[in-house]
Structure 1
Amino acid sequence: MPFPPPVRTLSGPRRRTLLASAAGAALMAGCSSDKEGSGKENPGAGPTSAEERARARAAADSAGLLERYDAVLAVHPALTARLAPLRAEVVRHVTAFGGAQGGARPSASASASPSVSVSPAPSVVVPANAKDALADLAGAERTLSDRRVAALVDLPGEAARLLASVAASGAAHAYLLTEGAR
């Protein structure tokens, strides 16, 4: 059974039209530049200084993790087949954040010397037992992943997505390092 037509016809704009035009005006006002008082830098102008600092820190953190992988591999070369894919991902993370490219086994931290030594860096202590070394590496991955998740709040769009992706990868690495030991 069809509904009867409305008793009276309304003149003037409909409620949907008014709401749509008000929403459009609000969107246009949200697209203002920094000069107009939005307090944020123009997203099309490139990365903000906070974003650049976050990327530099993430690159340095990944480089430090790479140094840790290299130290474990230097002390426990039998783990090479197991750690090589995870280490390769960490190299990609360094590159994704704009860090120094490479993947050789030198010390890769931002403050490290340019030597190409295969021996572990003095700042990284590797347990003599391979199982403990893997647990230590998993702990480093987990800690860094947690710190990256906490840093997401302060980052805009693309930088936050990249950091979230790398944090998820680090959590997966921690899982793989601990599950293989069981």
Structure 2
Amino acid sequence: MPSYRTAPRSRPGPRRRSLLAGAAGVASAALLAGCSDSADSDADGRPSAARRLRAAAAKDSRELLRRYDAVLAAHPSLDGRLGPLRGEVKRHVEAFEKSTGGNTPSPTAPASPSGAPPKAPTPRVSTDPKTAVRDLAEAERELADRRGKALLDAPAEEGRLLASVAAAGAAHAYLLTEKEDDK
């Protein structure tokens, strides 16, 4: 018999395979919980922060779309220039509404007595087409900046969508001011 102690054949406690299987089970449970419908609501039944973020982004995009419509109504000659950008903003509205299930109530506006949400006032538009376009570019830039800041706290899926739409808004602002700079 050797004069030194030999290690026992099996160590006490859980084995490596058991630990890995347990960790995989915990990770799977966490992923499944993250994919459930309860992710759209907090524990108290209110919409989750991600859902509120999407609803606010949809509202902002709808307001920007109304600005485009107001400028185009006041200056129909700008349709060739603004039409494609307006179409993109409309797609942004649809993307945010799709990600909220189409249910994007205004978080601050109370419902009218008839139960329908109140209609937003038409944005004021300058009588000068260049000023109207410049104001539209400023609105695009401001919204892109706000969305860029919102990315800091946004969950992954909403963050990707916000980043994409913020980049598009910054590009719109550039395109709206580029033609003015060339003249």
What's the TM-score, normalizing by structure 1? 0.67
Q: 1:127 Cα shift?
A: 1.0
Question: Considering only aligned residues, what root-mean-square deviation do their CA atoms show, in Å?
Answer: 3.0
User: What amino acid maps onto 2:148 in structure 1?
Assistant: V
Distance 1:129 1:98, change over 3 A: same
Q: 1:28 Cα shift?
A: 4.5
8 Å contact kept, 2:70–2:122: no
Specify the alignment match of 1:6 in structure 2: none
| Structure richer in helix, relative to its length | 2
Q: Check if 1:138 corresponds to 2:137.
A: yes
The CA distance in 2 between the partners of 1:127 and 1:59, in whole Å, is 25
What's the TM-score, normalizing by structure 2? 0.67
Q: 1:65 Cα shift?
A: 0.1
Percent of matched pairs sharing the same residue: 54
- Deviation by residue 1:35-82 (Cα, 9 ceiling, x = unmatched): xxxxxx932124541111011000000000000000100111110110
Specify the alignment match of 1:163 in structure 2: 162
Q: Check if 1:45 corresponds to 2:36.
A: yes
The CA distance in 2 between the partners of 1:153 and 1:29, in whole Å, is 30
Unaligned runs of 5+ in 2: 1-16, 41-47, 103-115
Larger CA deviation: 168-177 vs 147-156: 147-156
1:31 to 24, 27, 30: 27
Q: How many residues align?
A: 141
Unaligned runs of 5+ in 1: 1-20, 35-40, 101-109, 114-120
Q: 1:154 Cα shift?
A: 1.5
